[in-house]
Amino acid sequence: MAVDAAQLTSLQPVPATAADRRLPGDLAVWVFILAELLVFGVFFLSYAFTRAHHVAEFNSEQLTLNRAAGAWNTVLLLTASYCVYRAVAAARAGARSRIDLWLLAALACGAGFVVVKLGEYAAKLAAGISLSTSTFYMFYLSLTFFHFMHVLLGIVVLGVLWLRARAGAYGPANLNGLESGASYWHMVDLVWIVLFPLVYLLR
Amino acid sequence: MNHALAGRRRGTWTWLALLGATGFAWWLGGESVRARSAVPLLLALAVAKGVLVVREFMELRAAPARWQLLLVGWLVLVAALIGVAYYSGVR
Amino acid sequence: MQFKSQAAAKPYFVAAIGLFVGQILFGLIMGLQYVVGDFLFPAIPFNVARMVHTNLLIVWLLFGFMGGAYYLVPEESETELYSPKLARAMFWVFLVAGALTILSYLAMPYARLAELSGNNIVQTMGREFLEQPLPTKAGIVVVALAFLFNITMTVLRGRKTAISSILLLGLWGLAIFFLFSFYNPSNLVLDKYYWWWVVHLWVEGVWELILGALLAFVLIKVTGVDREVIEKWLYVIITLTLITGIVGTGHHYYWIGTPEYWQWWGSVFSALEPIPFFAMTVFAFNMVNRRRREHPNRAATLWALGTGVMSFLGAGIWGFLHTLAPVNYYTHGTQITAAHGHMAFYGAYVMVVLTIISYAMPILRGRPCNSPRAQVVEMWSFWLMTISMVFITLFLTAAGILQVWLQRVSDTPLPFMVVQEKIGLFYWMREWTGVVFLVGLVVYVASFFIKGDERPA
């Protein structure tokens, strides 16, 4: 890859020329990310425009959601993203021993998200709420569950990165895999940033 | 100060800003605030947070411009259409 | 031909084209039965003609896929086929089993065939596209396993490329999803699930992988564009296909007794199914525009471009037309579905098989390409078949819109048979266009027998 060493050891300062600009990670991952964003986008807009026809129902049922759990999950995902960012930075700086620590911290945050989310689902399940209860709950469960599956996949990806980092696979000259996985995780975060206000807060 | 340190600081500030925005959004979404007036603000906060993630964490500010445009464009478009949907639901 | 064992593909291609002719003849018979109900009755009733038409389609496409794989895999793996003998043997097993099945459809009532073939032991018959008697279904599994063994061993032994891996994934998926056809629960909703897990996951899932791999292979050959570029495109297309196609299965769950949320899941995901097909169109044209050589086989390039365009139109656009739940509420099971089915199968799968045949057959017959004269004739057949398929689709779409209107939307809905009378004109136009298609097919077959100077003029 045509990236000079100076650029690799620094933390990617904004490149002076267009030619220095490069996409972190593999192009294929980015196309995958775009496809995912498209699917989530269509889902979000389906929610928003369906709500316009059932405003009262959506508003009252939305108040039954656990907003604090949603906010804590936002904090956990953002923190996980920050840790992943630091892991990439550590790899770029050649600080191998810190890569897997940051990834482990990110994994812990991801696991925290899963625990909070499962608690939320358990409470709704105990209240007898299912996909067929109402249009709002159908959307709430579909959107959050579809996202939840992405978090699980993201955790698997981070797990693989962690194992490989422990084996010393990543460094300034070998970033492609780490950056690809990191980009995917940030996408999971990005989607939640829209999903949380949309489903939990906006009314 | 070398680039690596500057980059780490930048990342940390980004993270703190995101956490602050999340707390603010959570307060805005609470039952004490008149919900309708909070809609544009919450959407703007979501876009701002998204732009931070895209530019800083995803590091697209250092990537070819079209990638940043695509992702930020997605954010703005989705948020704007959500706004339209909410407005059309008010009537 | 780079490897001697690629010759194993030849009989598969010949059989595919032969069965294709049969399929079209039965299509014309049942097309006429739409308007002349007792045509050929009681010798060939409508339900039998329909079954033969669709089953022949599936069988000849499978012959085409297998032939394509036998041609492609040795060249991609840079090694001889693991066992050319096994390939030859399986050809005859498959051909004889296929022919016997079709003949038995024609020779006796379907219920009698079910009784004779052991359907009371394991009930698998009677479902659209999966009408085959038990021994045939078992035969398909045996042939598929032997074929997959042969192909997989070849790939394992040689060079591993993205194209051969994706082809292999598609072919294994094809075989595995076929296993759902052996289970036929008496609960009608469950039965529909298992049925769609074969039919949908075939044509909107793993077959698209096969399509992508075959198209990518031919494009590498005729354009000379770097393998890396083509493989990247292929990965993208495959990913999009799998995301949209698998959850998109939900667009078959709308009105069969499943929970309502499927209307959302099905609509959202299947609405995105045109995207991979669009990517395929852009892919084909992009690669041909960036070509680094002028391949003398112009006909193969034309088929490859045609696949890109027609699969997007037929599978992408015509599929999207009726995939959203609120639209499908009115259109399901009408001639709109038939219109989509015709153009999608032709545009995606028929055309990709004809693409690989067009590219490989001259080489299998010992020349880089056919003579310019033969190619001109082949291109004529391309346009005849493709344009008549466009018109068949348009006429069926018109018939479908009228049908939806008169039978379902109208304030005073008319009964099914009354509506069928009223849209008879479109069925006649479809039938005559079908005759043009047959002429195109005859021209296509004729192009194989045209000699002439092989060097391009």
Q: For residue range C83-132, what is the model confidence (pLDDT) as tens digits?
A: 999 999 999 999 999 999 999 999 999 999 999 999 999 999 999 999 99
**Mean pLDDT, rounded, of chain C:** 95
Question: Going by C-beta distance under 8 Å and a sequence separation of 6 or more, which residues neighbour residue C89?
Answer: C146
pLDDT exceeds 70 at position C138? yes
Residue B74 and residue A37 in contact, taking contact as beta carbons nearer than 8 Å: yes
pLDDT exceeds 90 at position C240? no
Q: For residue range C41-58, what is the model confidence (pLDDT) as tens digits?
A: 999 999 999 999 999 999
Please say whether the structural domain A31-53+65-201 has been given the CATH code 1.20.120.80. Answer: yes
Give me the helix-helix angle, C9-35 and C424-447, nearest 10°. 160
Tracing tokens 């890859």 back to the chain, one arrives at A1
pLDDT exceeds 50 at position A83? yes
Helix ranges restricted to H, C318-413: 318-321, 325-331, 335-344, 351-364, 372-404
Residue C241 exposure: Cα atoms within 13 Å on the Cβ side = 28
Give the residue-averaged pLDDT of B60-69: 94
C-chain residues near A27 (CB < 8 A) = 232
| Residues in B 16-55 with any Cβ partner in A closer than 8 A | 18-19, 22-23, 25-26, 28-31, 35-36, 38-39, 42-43, 45-46, 49-50, 53-54
Q: For residue range C327-381, what is the model confidence (pLDDT) as tens digits?
A: 999 999 999 999 999 999 999 999 999 999 999 999 999 999 999 999 999 999 9
Choose the mutation target among A138, A143, A184 for the interface with C, i.e. most C CBs under 10 Å.
Answer: A138
Burial of C258 per CB tally in 10 Å (0-12, 13-18, 19+): middle
Q: Which pLDDT band holds residue C207 (cuts at 50, 70, 90)? A: very high
Residue ranges of chain A whose CB lies within 8 Å of a chain C CB: 27-28, 31-32, 35-36, 38-39, 42-43, 46, 131-132, 138-139, 142
Is residue B70 within 8 angstroms of chain A, CB to CB? yes
A-chain residues near C269 (CB < 8 A) = 39
The residue ranges of every structural domain in chain B are 3-90
Q: For residue range C242-290, what is the model confidence (pLDDT) as tens digits?
A: 889 999 999 999 999 999 999 999 999 999 999 899 889 988 998 999 9
Report CB contact under 8 Å: B62, A21.
Answer: yes
Assign C64 to helix, strand or coil.
Answer: helix
Give the residue-averaged pLDDT of C431-445: 98
Q: What's the rounded Cα separation, in Å, for the pair C98 and C64?
A: 14
Q: Which pLDDT band holds residue A18 (cuts at 50, 70, 90)? A: low
Q: What's the rounded Cα separation, in Å, for the pair C73 and C457?
A: 32
Q: What's the rounded Cα separation, in Å, for the pair C182 and A28?
A: 37
Report CB contact under 8 Å: A142, C269.
Answer: no
pLDDT exceeds 90 at position A113? yes
Give residue C48's identity as a one-letter amino acid code.
V
The residue ranges of every structural domain in chain A are 31-53+65-201
pLDDT exceeds 90 at position C233? no
Q: How many CB pairs under 8 A join A and C?
A: 41
Q: What's the pLDDT at A10?
A: 43
pLDDT exceeds 80 at position A43? yes
Q: What's the rounded Cα separation, in Å, for the pair C68 and C76?
A: 12
- Give chains near B: 3+ CB pairs under 8 A: A
Residue A171 bridge partners (DSSP)? A174
C-chain residues near A131 (CB < 8 A) = 259, 261
Residue A174 bridge partners (DSSP)? A171
Report CB contact under 8 Å: A201, B26.
Answer: yes
Assign A26 to helix, strand or coil.
Answer: coil
Q: Which pLDDT band holds residue C454 (cuts at 50, 70, 90)? A: low
* Phi then psi dihedrals of residue C260, to 5 deg: -65, -30
* Candidates A70, A89, A194; nearest CB to B7: A89
- Give chains near A: 3+ CB pairs under 8 A: B, C
CA angle C306, C307, C308 (to 5 degrees): 90
Helix ranges restricted to H, chain A: 5-9, 27-51, 55-62, 67-92, 96-126, 135-166, 176-196
